Chains A and B, each alone.
Chain A
Amino acid sequence: MNEIDRIIKAQSLFQCLECGKCSAACPRRLTGKEYSPRLLAHKVIAEREDEAFIENAVWDCLSCGMCSERCPSGVKFSGFILDMRTLLAETKGLQGYRAHDGAIHSWMRMMTAPELEQNRLDWVSEDLGVAESGDVAFFVGCAPYFDVFFAGIEVDTLSIAKDSIRLLNFMDIKPVLLRDERCCGHDLLWTGDRENFERLCRLNYETFRAAGVREIVVSCPECYHVLSEHMPRVIPGFDIKITLLLDLLQREVHKGGKAFRSLKRRATYQDPCRLGRMAGRYAAPRELLGLIPELRLAEMENSGPSALCCGNCGFINCDAHSKQIQVQRLQEARATGAEMLITACPKCLIHLTCAIRDRLRQGSVKMEIRDILSVLADQIAWYGG
């Protein structure tokens, strides 16, 4: 049976009614790009000979999941894109133009070298409580790398990792940090480089086992998306508990004994697609932010399940349309009257910060962007503390 047919079946593309809700909501389409999930579905099913169209479209997708969200008949469109990319990459080679000329993918691939002995933990300072061994490990992710690479646009992803550890410490958890942890492989996976992605999974799993940890706490939604959903499919009998830091916080805060210092700001919250639409975490972040006194949280025009994507995913096909989405998103944020945009994903942080640098728009889109964990870490305190 033809591979594409298999994918269509697996992602139940046949259920498509060609209603076009997906295209109507698709942020790519929103910016006037010649792109339509509905048409893609149609072509793949009915006009498969139009390879050029299909290939372009497959790589153009942001995989933000809005389409699947809107689909009345349960087409797993994101899954379809993922499978198609994997297939095309294997048969026709990687495509889609890489942001930053592929530097990021490059180092991610380099991490597939088994012999690698990274120095990824130099930043861990005395004040951070970490353990040599234990049950719980904290998955740092690519923060140290981004910290170097994006120094140019003043995004500080490393502080997210530091704040995450502070939060864990605050909850009396001294996480193990894994020196030979690899990139989770999210971007390789979503750019179709399945083989290297699986290598990373296996290497990471070996690392977890070697460290003898049972639970991995993850702060980055993308890492969480991969570790919790895709890794188990790669590693048969995957027996490590993957916990999202926000969930952990929510649980711990409910236990009581912890409170937040007041923060007199107007803010709004950006749902990352991997956290929202793909992991369904809409409430947790809002609830946690809601606990901060005087922090006035305003919702954007498009929020929750219909939140607008940060404009790019997997560092491919970042272009004028991505920029336009970002500008629109930032304008929505400003429209709420917020001074601060809180997001929960380092990628959102990076992409939106990049957009803010725009010279023409600086006036209209400039605003402070912070990661939710940093905000929480700064405000958390002992009850009455």
Chain B
Amino acid sequence: MKRASSPGNVKKAVLLVGSGYGALKVAQDLAQSGHYLVWVTKAPHFLELPGGRASFTEWPEDLEFQFRPLYLRVTRHPRVTALTHARIESIEQGPDGYRITAVQDPLYVDYDLCTGCGRCMEVCPIHNTTHPPLRRTPAYCPSRALDLDKRKPSPCRTACPLGVNVQAYMALTASSRFDEALDVIRRDNPLPGICGRVCHHPCEQSCRRATVDEAVAICSVKRFLADRDLSQRKPRFDETGREKRPERIAVIGAGPAGLTAAHYLNRAGFPVTIFEAHHEAGGMLRLGINAFRLPRAILDAEIRAIVDSGVEIRTGTTVKSLQDLFGEGFRAVLICTGAHRDLRLGIPGDDAEGVLGAVEMLRSLHTGKMSALQGDVAVIGGGNSAFDAARAAVRLGADSVTVYYRRERGDMPASLSEIREAEQEGIRIEFRCAPVNISVKGGKATGLTLIRMKMGKPDKSGRRRPEPIAGSEYSVPADRVIAAIGQQPHLSGLQDHVKTDSAGRVNVDKKFSSSRPGVFAAGDVVTGPDTVVGSMAQGRQAASRVSAWLRGARISPDGNAETHSVGEYLDAPKDQPKLVRARMPLREAARRRRDFGEVEKGFSAEQAVAEANRCLQCSSCCECRACESVCRDIGAIDHARASRRVSFVSPAVIVASEDEFARRDMLGQKGIYRVGEFKSATDIVNVLMAGSASAGQAMADCLSLRHPGIPAEPRELPDDREPRIGVFVCTCNGTLASSGALDRIRDLAARMPGAVHSELIVSACHPRGAERIAAAFRNQRLSRVILASCVCCPLEFQCISCNDQRNRARVHLFNRLGLDRCRFETINIRDHLGGPEISEDQAVANARDFLREAFLRARVLGPLRGGTTKMGNRILVLGGSEVGLSCAHILDLQGFKVRLVHRCRLKGGQDLPEGIARRPVTDTIGKAITHVPEAEIESIKGHLGDFHVTASEGGQRRQWKADIVCLTDLNLLPLAIPVDMFGLKKFYRFNFAFFNTPQIGVFRVMPRTLGRVSAFQAGAALAAHVATAAAEAFLKDHELSPRVDPERCRGCGRCVEICTFDAVRLVPNDRGFYTAEVLRHNCVGCGGCVGRCPVTAMDMPYFSNRLLEEITACTLGEDR
């Protein structure tokens, strides 16, 4: 959640585990009492209730709002490192406390940067599905940041040798965003049109849709996208951000591997030249694959695209010597010559005329050496090339074509569609037979003798080994025997330059480097015959190795950034309707067998979209990265973000939700505290109390961790008659209004009287946005700033309508960059300019009204109250109940100077509870506590930081000074200003600080909270709260607290009557009557007293009398 901006690399901090209101309270008490804190939860935000929201008995509908200020204060507290999506990796007991390592899953959306503008959701192709990957934190959480749900990469993607992001282009196709879809493919595959036809698509084998009905027809969708693109324009690659490298590279062979390698080397910035022996590029694609499967137009177009993007291809050039290439200035050579030499049958007569290899046959066909073929044709083998040869033979006019295969149909490597289509075209297939002899007459083959096979034990390929059946020989007529039993590489002269194996394959290490430095090899020439996509993958990997080698770098980024996503696939919904897989339309067999026209017609757009919609989107976010593109200026979204590790030492650990704390065994141990028993916590107040209690206990262990804050100097406004006003309009990543409207608003502001600067900024809550403002503020020597964003006010406090973005903007501007808030006027036009549906004119007009008011306010701005008072650490605990004892004890351990009065009475007040009256006074607890056995308390005077408590101790009158007074026995409550604190809503007033009395600094046990927690816990909680008040060592005035003009004040006392917080008192003046005086320490800045004053002798900052009047005038004035 928080990253660099948090207190960097925390060395020592308290660990808090879990989410919920209890945890929130713990964090508040610890942070505000000066302790560094690492807050870890697996939840996406900190309010997820361990007990479950439903379990709370007392829950006013607006309660969640009431916690917003607390949430913002704590999660953005400089001492708090708050980690969502995180867990404890390890925790060991060390000499100086627990050594802890916490891990935070990658935050694909950075909580510190996200403006919540929502553009990412608009562009996400799967946002309007049952499981949108991008979601806002729930309404009750004041963060508007988004959460991105990412799972492990989808099976289709991992199955693809090229790692093409299938899920992404399915998602985009499903929403008819065809161009983007194709771009996704082209990222990883430069030959989509070719692969869309001839790929053996392992993706479809792995498709999880098959568990519902049938696998998605991924390959055909890819073909549709490529064809559509080709039909519209020449295919092109996105050329952005390419560096230029000097090193020239030679690639030998323009087949799938060579082309792919050349493409990626070229993209990596290297000048690449491909040497192709044949007079046309394409290698096996062109020579080995039939035109009716792969039309030459497609092949040419996609090769052309690669050439156009800068790859040179020298066709008809056979490389005889590598030395020459290096001589020519090439720095590296990549051999991708493939495997073009057919394996011979190795039976009698296989050298006769009419006997030839499949590749040989196809090559002569495709180079025009063969145009017709008569008689009976026998094809040996069951692979794609067997069927390519057979189907070619049919089209060349053979009388009969039969394929002989030694295993079962299911064992054939050829693709099912290939086999199906071949049979439709009248090709016979005989299984379980192998050739043994070719009968020859006059040097020409006339027939073929085969032997029947039976299936034996499975071999290492997992297929059962065929064994001949003795005496089952039989003969068939055959004018042509075509051997399609495999090919092997053939280096035509280069073999003596690099080491090869028996099968003629080039030996390479895993870096694709051959025996000779600078010479690499990839594709079939290394692996032996492989699939198209397999060879391409080889080419691509080789390319990155070559470029790494040339750069002398480690593996170079090849545009496919590592994804760190984790987590299981989404399950297909139970009620997922079954849908048949789209069928590929074919040309009618009788017609197609006569020519070489393409057989498969391809999908229509409707088919493609429907098919893509069948995709289950297994890993939620499909990583199409559309969101990244709209978030570029903000940079909140990064799909390649890594997880984060925080290691620190903590003397104490607080567990707020046990199911997030794996080491149950540790729970009992010293220094490990639990926030109540949550599953049974049914009362919010109880939970908060438990939170404070455990915070208090933890504090006792953390004395060394306390760092009191230093207050900021109060700022006065310069007396500038002619203010220089700068206006900044936050466009919220361009979502505020149309760019036209934005420009007009900026110019409008620039024209307003007093404006010297007007600027549009991408985002005010973004660090860079804030920095722009700060820079302009200094460069333009501005004296007032108007910030038009979603920020409502520049004040320091957070209110219940605040959210993280608003708060963050202020933290950046005022806390981080040190601008003074009293020079700022902020207007929330983000939320009140009017929806996106309003016209540009309307938007500008509304903005104008906002700005007029803002300019007026900016002129009237006055200084905020910024005084501070030194605080001591003298704490007086009145009452020796368990509450008092534990409170005093814990405070003592924290180094406060505690005076504990064990038995307190009030004159004429209630008597002591029996238990306390009879308990023997022991001064064993506490090192530095001053114990007073018994006293009668008369009065408490003064204010936080300076109380005077008068008491009589053993008939002797005493006056104790204290910075804070705690009333820990119920019989003392009359000393506190009485206020009804029963009923949850009463706590709103005191920000859920149960111990507050209207007199800040006098704290008391809450009858309501006693009995909910043990007296000991109540004491600890009270101690925690006292620490939050005392630890800062300085007491800050409320920025809005009013001033009294003694020359005007008539001492009528209306102000005193209205104030609930006892923040105004009347002091006699030398005129013989009273003058009102504001007790800054008690004031909460509501301005009630200001409103009541009959002679405007009182006025407050920011909501001053003058301001309110001028605002009224301005918003209603005739000139409006």
Contact = CB atoms under 8 A, between A and B. Distances in A.
Tell me, yes or no, whether A and B come into direct contact in the complex with CB atoms closer than 8 A.
yes
Interface of A: 31, 97-102, 318-324, 327, 354-355, 357-361
A358 B1052 contact: yes
Question: Lowest 9 CB-CB distances: which A-B pairs, in order?
Answer: A319-B1048, A323-B1050, A324-B1071, A318-B1095, A360-B1074, A358-B1073, A97-B1096, A360-B1073, A100-B1094
A31 B1069 CA distance: 13
B1047 A319 contact: yes
A360 B1051 contact: yes
Nearest to A31: B1071
Contacts of B1071: 31, 320, 323-324, 327
B1073 A327 contact: yes
Nearest to B1105: A101
Given A97-B1096, A320-B1046, A327 B1072 contact: yes
Nearest to B1066: A359
Interface of B: 1046-1053, 1066, 1068-1069, 1071-1075, 1094-1097, 1105, 1109
B645 to A, nearest CB: 60
B1050 A322 contact: yes
Given A101-B1105, A319-B1050, A360 B1068 contact: yes
A358 B1050 CA distance: 9
Given A358-B1073, A360-B1066, A360-B1073, A99 B1053 contact: no
B1094 A361 contact: no
Nearest to B1094: A100
Contacts of A321: 1047
Contacts of B1072: 324, 327, 360-361
Contact of B1074 (A31, A98, A355, A358): A358
B654 to A, nearest CB: 50
Given A322-B1050, A323-B1050, A359-B1053, A98 B1073 contact: no
Contacts of A360: 1051, 1066, 1068, 1072-1074
Given A323-B1071, A327-B1073, A357 B1052 contact: yes
B511 to A, nearest CB: 84
A220 B1047 CA distance: 30
Nearest to B1067: A360
Nearest to A361: B1073
A320 to B, nearest CB: 6
A102 B1066 CA distance: 25
Contacts of B1066: 359-360
Contacts, number: 69
A360 B1050 CA distance: 12
Contacts of A102: 1109
A328 to B, nearest CB: 9
Contact of A320 (B1068, B1075, B1094, B1096): B1075
Contacts of B1069: 320
B1024 to A, nearest CB: 40
Nearest to B1091: A101
A319 B1097 contact: yes
Given A359-B1074, A360-B1066, A361-B1073, A320 B1048 contact: yes
A207 B1046 CA distance: 44
Nearest to A355: B1050
Contacts of A99: 1094-1096
Nearest to B1071: A324
Nearest to A331: B1072
A320 B1068 CA distance: 12
B1073 A319 contact: no
Given A98-B1096, A327-B1072, A320 B1049 contact: yes
23 contacts: A97-B1048, A97-B1096, A99-B1095, A100-B1095, A101-B1094, A319-B1047, A319-B1050, A320-B1047, A320-B1069, A320-B1075, A321-B1047, A323-B1050, A323-B1071, A324-B1073, A354-B1050, A355-B1050, A358-B1051, A358-B1052, A358-B1073, A359-B1066, A360-B1066, A360-B1068, A360-B1074
A320 B1105 CA distance: 19
Given A318-B1095, A320-B1051, A320-B1097, 16 more contacts: A97-B1048, A97-B1096, A98-B1096, A99-B1094, A101-B1094, A101-B1096, A320-B1047, A323-B1050, A323-B1051, A323-B1073, A324-B1073, A357-B1053, A359-B1053, A360-B1066, A360-B1072, A360-B1074
A354 to B, nearest CB: 7
A318 B1105 CA distance: 16
A362 B1075 CA distance: 15
B742 to A, nearest CB: 37
A324 B1072 CA distance: 8
Contact of A97 (B1046, B1051, B1095): B1095
A235 B342 CA distance: 124
Nearest to B1072: A327
Name, among A319, A320, A355, A359, the residue most crowded by chain B CB atoms within 10 Å (CB to CB).
Answer: A320
B176 to A, nearest CB: 63
Contacts of A354: 1050, 1052, 1094
A256 to B, nearest CB: 46
A28 to B, nearest CB: 12
Contacts of B1097: 319-320
A360 B1074 CA distance: 7
A360 B1051 CA distance: 9
Contacts of A100: 1094-1095
B724 to A, nearest CB: 24
A100 B1048 CA distance: 13
B1100 to A, nearest CB: 13
A100 B1052 CA distance: 13
Nearest to A99: B1095
Contacts of A320: 1046-1051, 1069, 1071, 1075, 1097
B1050 A318 contact: yes
B1114 to A, nearest CB: 15
Contacts of A355: 1050
Name, among B1050, B1053, B1069, B1105, the residue most crowded by chain A CB atoms within 10 Å (CB to CB).
Answer: B1050
A357 B1052 CA distance: 7
A27 to B, nearest CB: 13
A221 to B, nearest CB: 23
Contacts of B1095: 97, 99-100, 318-319
A364 to B, nearest CB: 9
Contacts of A357: 1052-1053
A358 B1051 CA distance: 7
B957 to A, nearest CB: 28
B321 to A, nearest CB: 98
Contacts of B1096: 97-99, 101
A232 B88 CA distance: 90
A323 B1074 CA distance: 10
Contacts of A31: 1071
A101 B1095 CA distance: 7
Contacts of B1048: 97, 319-320
A226 to B, nearest CB: 24
